[in-house]
Amino acid sequence: MLRPFTEEEYHAFYRGYVSDGMLRQGPYTYDREQVSRSYRYEYGGFRPDTVNYGILEDGRPVGAFQLKRINHERHSCEFGILLQNVEAKNRGIGTEALRIGLKMARDEYRIRTIRGDTMSVNLAMIALFRKCGFHLLEVVSSCYTLPDGQIADCLIFEKTYDQTEWRE
């Protein structure tokens, strides 16, 4: 379910991507050249502190997952997750991808502390953080201006593995 995208899968993901109207004004428009440049950047080793994965369901790309700002000395990182469209949401795909990604971060990259953030209006993501054992670390007021003009806070969540969950 979670593995690096091939370039073809990366293109398929973005060809089917539909931006969330709550988060972005106007529709996303697929641009082959831009997606190719993005793939080379994301998967070409330009960012040694970042690992990218595709989320696949029955061999089809339905999401993207990223471990970023990996700090090996502090055993910490951040994560990002993006689902392709409304058909991929509310079916447990994001939850399962996050659980697998957290396990990979802990076991393969020796991460003890992982952070993620979302907007205060993204109730589904807030529920996902809580479901996966994150706690609210910080609220940054008035970070986002939404397409409808509404102002939203940024919520930063953190999960720290204790000694029983993390192994040297």
With a CB cutoff of 8 Å and minimum separation 6, the contacts of 2 are 53, 54, 55, 56, 65, 97, 100, 101, 104
Mean pLDDT (the chain, rounded): 91
Q: Which residue has the tokens 């970070």?
A: 143
Distances (CA, A) of 42 to 7, 10, 14, 18, 98: 10, 10, 14, 20, 19
- pLDDT value of position 145: 87
Range of the domain at 61: 2-160
> Residue 168 and residue 118: Cα distance in Å, rounded?
30
What's the whole-number mean pLDDT along residues 90-111? Answer: 94
| Secondary structure (3-state) at 50 | coil
In this prediction, residue 110 has a pLDDT band, given cuts at 50, 70 and 90, of very high
Residue 59 lies in a domain: yes
Residue 167 lies in a domain: no
- pLDDT value of position 28: 87
pLDDT above 80 (res 164) = no
pLDDT above 70 (res 163) = no
Which tens digit of pLDDT belongs to each residue from 16-56?
Answer: 999 876 666 678 899 999 999 999 999 998 889 999 999 99
- What CATH number did the domain enclosing 149 receive? 3.40.630.30
pLDDT above 80 (res 58) = yes
Residue 146 lies in a domain: yes
Residue 166 lies in a domain: no
pLDDT above 80 (res 160) = yes
Count the domains in the chain: 1
